[in-house]
Structure 1
Amino acid sequence: MSARNPRNPPGLVETPYDLGLGESAAPDAALVYNSSYVTTVEVVADLGRADVDRRKILSAAPFAAFAGVGPSRDWLVNTLDQEPTGPRVRLEDVSAVKNMFATFQRMDIFQGGGSGRLVLAEYMTQHVYPLLRRTHGAEVRRALCEAAAEQTYLLGWMAYDNGENGTAQRYLIQALRLAEESKDAALGAHVLAGMADQATLLGDPAEGRRLAQAGRQGLSRVDSPACLADLWCLEARALALLGEKSAAAHAVAQSEKAYERVRLDEEPAWAAFIDPAYLHGEHANTFRDLDDPSAAEEHARRSITHAKMQKRARRGAMSQAALAVSHLQRRDLDSAYAAGIRTLSLTKRVKSSRAVEAVQDLQRRMQPFGAHRLVADFNERARELATAA
């Protein structure tokens, strides 16, 4: 039985987490896509507080293979039937939450996921998740769940970019559940895109492909060209790693076709990053994995141009790394070294484990060149980056 704490605002219920109980179950509970809205609210609130408190058990929580199977299926078919209780939330409260989203998203895009993630976790825990427990009309409830889903997704994405994959996965699953509650199919598909990206890059491209396809199925009744372009893009990446060359090339073409219909002023705020810098950068990685250095170089250079104009260091670093690999695939070490140095320079400007991993990937790919002076110099500079990090 829950207890009320007189220090808490009216309508807030003290949970086992508040009492110091049930800590060991919190990480696993966040892997479950629960049909109960009330339970979902408690789980995501507990997850946020464990994150803010830097609980060891959360930081040690592993990425669970295949945990996305049930959530992606249930997102397509579930209906909800429970209501929270407490003081009524107004649309003005929701607007305040949505206005904060752009601020945190810009922090992620321009500074990397590790720079502002804990600030966002604190904001969500103190200001947003408590609102989910309160009373809302149907319109406000949908809007609030949409805003909470957007920012819970962003928390997951920032954790992913910072190398905290177990934490990221749990946030993404709960974001998907909140997106279903909001009845925004495009937002749910967007969350599945993030889950697909994570699964693919953690070594399970078959799961990544399946999640991307589930997202596309979810878009069957809504028009969201930016999200569709992203899902095709991520499916292409998975297909490339699966060795399905023609299917991957087709998926890239479908991604580009979908993006031709994008009108930026009609897209939701969460789609702001789905642009030429991002898409061409991911296409470069697809063709890199297909061992097609010419196509990889073309897309990498397009991405680099756009990222430079936008001053997006993380995207620039990752696309410079893709460009470097395209040179290595042609055995052009001099050009690869030059692109690698630019990768290092840009990586120093952001807090992103994905950018650091791109540098480490370059080191591995340079190993066949042995003790060449350029390889030795690049490795020394990379060690300096790792030490600084």
Structure 2
Amino acid sequence: MENPNSDLRGWLERSGMSRKELARRVIAAAQAWGQPHITPDATAVRRWLDGQQPRHPVPEIVADVFSAHFKFRVTTYDLGFGEGQTAERSLIYNASFAVTVEAVTDLGRADVDRRKFLAGAPFAAVAAVGPSRDWLLNVIDQQPEPGPRVRLEDVVAVKNMFGEFQKMDVLQGGGTGRLVLAGYMNQHVYPLLRRTHTDDVRRSLCEAAAEQTYLLGWMAYDSGEHGTAQRYLIQSLRLAEESKNAALGAHVLAGMADQATLLGNPQEGRRLAQAGRAGLGKDTSPACLADLWALEARALAKLGDKEAAIKAVRQSESAYSHVRLEREPEWAAFIDPAYLHGEHANTFRDLNQASTAEEHARVSIAHARAQKRARRGAMSQAALAVSHLQRKELEAAHAAGVRTLRLSQQVKSSRCVEAVRDLQQRMQPFGSDRLVADFNEQVREFMAAA
């Protein structure tokens, strides 16, 4: 015999809805989900209250109904239906804005609660194909009309907070402020998306929410939680489309391209970067264009296409020469010489062009040091160390490796950890040299502390 669902009963009583009214709202919500065959009645609701577990996606749709009613996120777990399918749902680029709002809110809630099913969510290599295609088609068909953007106080507050959290990420790594940002989004930003707005207000709010959701994805990426990061990025892309800000969508695709290449899918990384360039629009954001070209170069280097990779680096440098900081969006602030030269250093590292890689690495290191950006400095020091190893200069490589370790200790970043591990592996061919032994011992201490 099934146990009565007291959780669902409590939420239903709190809402003041009858069984018939709940059934009616579930049917309406199912239409937005593209599930017109879901047509429960009051009897079906009674069975749920008696303990029957409805089939997917009914629990998620019921959760959306209660969330819309209460104006805050109510999850399938809250309703006594178990964890639901948040991880799978947030991989979907849904045409419905209402469904997108609930999906990204559910993702943020699960992230803050640190539920195990989300932490273990896998990265899906082909999941970006549909989202990038749909975003590009819609951007091309729906270019925004020129004119001033509406500035609500709520939106201004969100944008101000974005600047603070982005600085935290850049200076301290993604592992520092992510859960604080997720909590802020759940409590203050995502609820705003459920309110009624004029079209202009909604676009402005979606732009702010897309920026923050992207940053959540980037922080998860920097923490090595790639499944979670991918889900945030896909939902950020959908919010960016709703804002009709082509540059912001292209920026999100750049993050997705970076992740795909890092995880061993450079062909997909290149395609995502190309999609971003195609949808960016003329003179929209030279910084974003420079980033997309840099990431395409990284992918091409991984694919072994030397000529195309070098050409892409030149395109990136040309695009950045047109950057005017006062005209760039705030999210583009990190796309600067420290970042771009660091990416170019890695491109030439992968092309086995050690001297050129060293040149770019040193420029990146100098800018990063001036800005006190330990994460970028660590990653560029690692690229510098590899350039020395490629020329059999072990002593110089050891010195750069030690600097990599010291900078990595200042941030919470899985990418820095991976850079250290990669450097350690590349030193192995030098055998039992005392410098290798010394570096291995320092790495052991670093890993123990990390």
Which range, TM-score by smaller chain? over 0.9
CA displacement at 1:209 relative to structure 2 = 0.2
CA displacement at 1:52 relative to structure 2 = 0.2
Gaps of 5+ in 1: 81-88
How many angstroms apart in 1 are the aligned matches of 2:73 and 2:263? 37
Are the equivalent residues in 2 in contact too, given 1:35–1:78 (CA < 8 A)? no
Are the equivalent residues in 2 in contact too, given 1:152–1:174 (CA < 8 A)? yes
Are the equivalent residues in 1 in contact too, given 2:121–2:227 (CA < 8 A)? yes
- 1:143 aligned onto 2:204: yes
**Is the partner of 1:272 in helix, strand or coil?**
helix
Counterpart of 2:168?
A: 107
Counterpart of 2:87?
A: 27
- 1:349 aligned onto 2:413: no
How many angstroms apart in 2 are the aligned matches of 1:46 and 1:38? 12
Counterpart of 1:337?
A: 398
* Pairing partner for 2:118 from 31, 43, 58: 58
| CA RMSD in angstroms, aligned pairs only | 2.1
| Bigger-Rg structure (1/2) | 2
Counterpart of 1:287?
A: 348
- 1:388 aligned onto 2:436: no
CA displacement at 1:265 relative to structure 2 = 1.2
Write the deviation string for residues 100-134 of structure 1: whole angstroms up to 9, x where unpaired: 00000000000000011111011011111111111
The runs of at least 4 aligned residues of structure 1 exceeding 3 Å deviation read: 1-11, 13-18
How many angstroms apart in 1 are the aligned matches of 2:403 and 2:73? 51
How many angstroms apart in 1 are the aligned matches of 2:319 and 2:138? 28
Counterpart of 1:67?
A: 127
CA displacement at 1:9 relative to structure 2 = 10
CA displacement at 1:76 relative to structure 2 = 1.5
CA displacement at 1:262 relative to structure 2 = 0.4
TM-score of the aligned structures, taking structure 1 as reference length = 0.94
How many angstroms apart in 2 are the aligned matches of 1:96 and 1:43? 23
TM-score of the aligned structures, taking structure 2 as reference length = 0.82
Counterpart of 1:12?
A: 71
How many angstroms apart in 2 are the aligned matches of 1:186 and 1:100? 20
Counterpart of 1:36?
A: 96
Gaps of 5+ in 2: 1-7, 17-65, 142-149
Counterpart of 2:263?
A: 202
Write the deviation string for residues 141-197 of structure 1: whole angstroms up to 9, x where unpaired: 000000000000000000000101000000000000000000000000000000000
CA displacement at 1:59 relative to structure 2 = 0.3
* Pairing partner for 2:226 from 155, 165, 168: 165
Counterpart of 1:86?
A: none
Amino acid of the structure 1 residue aligned with 2:71: L
Amino acid of the structure 2 residue aligned with 1:53: D
Amino acid of the structure 2 residue aligned with 1:65: A
* Pairing partner for 2:190 from 121, 129, 146: 129
Are the equivalent residues in 2 in contact too, given 1:11–1:134 (CA < 8 A)? no
How many angstroms apart in 2 are the aligned matches of 1:235 and 1:163? 22
CA displacement at 1:205 relative to structure 2 = 0.2
Q: Could you say which structure has the greater relative contact order, defined with CA pairs below 8 angstroms and 6 or more residues apart?
A: 1
* Pairing partner for 1:215 from 272, 276, 292: 276
Are the equivalent residues in 2 in contact too, given 1:300–1:320 (CA < 8 A)? yes
* Pairing partner for 2:428 from 347, 367, 370: 367
- Change in Cα spacing, 1:14 to 1:238, as seen in structure 2 (3 Å) is closer
- Change in Cα spacing, 1:16 to 1:282, as seen in structure 2 (3 Å) is same
Amino acid of the structure 2 residue aligned with 1:264: L
How many angstroms apart in 2 are the aligned matches of 1:37 and 1:222? 28
CA displacement at 1:219 relative to structure 2 = 1.2
Write the deviation string for residues 264-283 of structure 1: whole angstroms up to 9, x where unpaired: 11110100100000000000
CA displacement at 1:49 relative to structure 2 = 0.1
Pairs within 5 Å for 1:73-88: 73-78=133-138
Aligned residues: 382
CA displacement at 1:16 relative to structure 2 = 3.9
**Is the partner of 2:126 in helix, strand or coil?**
coil
* Pairing partner for 2:239 from 156, 159, 178: 178
How many angstroms apart in 1 are the aligned matches of 2:80 and 2:156? 33
How many angstroms apart in 2 are the aligned matches of 1:275 and 1:338? 26
Are the equivalent residues in 2 in contact too, given 1:5–1:14 (CA < 8 A)? no
Are the equivalent residues in 1 in contact too, given 2:73–2:106 (CA < 8 A)? no
Are the equivalent residues in 1 in contact too, given 2:67–2:74 (CA < 8 A)? no
- Change in Cα spacing, 1:92 to 1:286, as seen in structure 2 (3 Å) is same
CA displacement at 1:90 relative to structure 2 = 7.9
Counterpart of 1:299?
A: 360
How many angstroms apart in 2 are the aligned matches of 1:306 and 1:9? 47
Pairs within 5 Å for 1:220-369: 220-221=281-282, 223-369=284-430
Are the equivalent residues in 1 in contact too, given 2:338–2:365 (CA < 8 A)? yes
| Mean Cα deviation higher: 115-124 or 4-13 | 4-13
- Change in Cα spacing, 1:314 to 1:137, as seen in structure 2 (3 Å) is same
How many angstroms apart in 2 are the aligned matches of 1:98 and 1:282? 27
Are the equivalent residues in 1 in contact too, given 2:216–2:229 (CA < 8 A)? yes
Counterpart of 2:107?
A: 47
Are the equivalent residues in 2 in contact too, given 1:5–1:13 (CA < 8 A)? no
CA displacement at 1:15 relative to structure 2 = 3.7
CA displacement at 1:303 relative to structure 2 = 0.1
Are the equivalent residues in 2 in contact too, given 1:179–1:188 (CA < 8 A)? yes
How many angstroms apart in 2 are the aligned matches of 1:319 and 1:111? 16
How many angstroms apart in 2 are the aligned matches of 1:230 and 1:22? 41
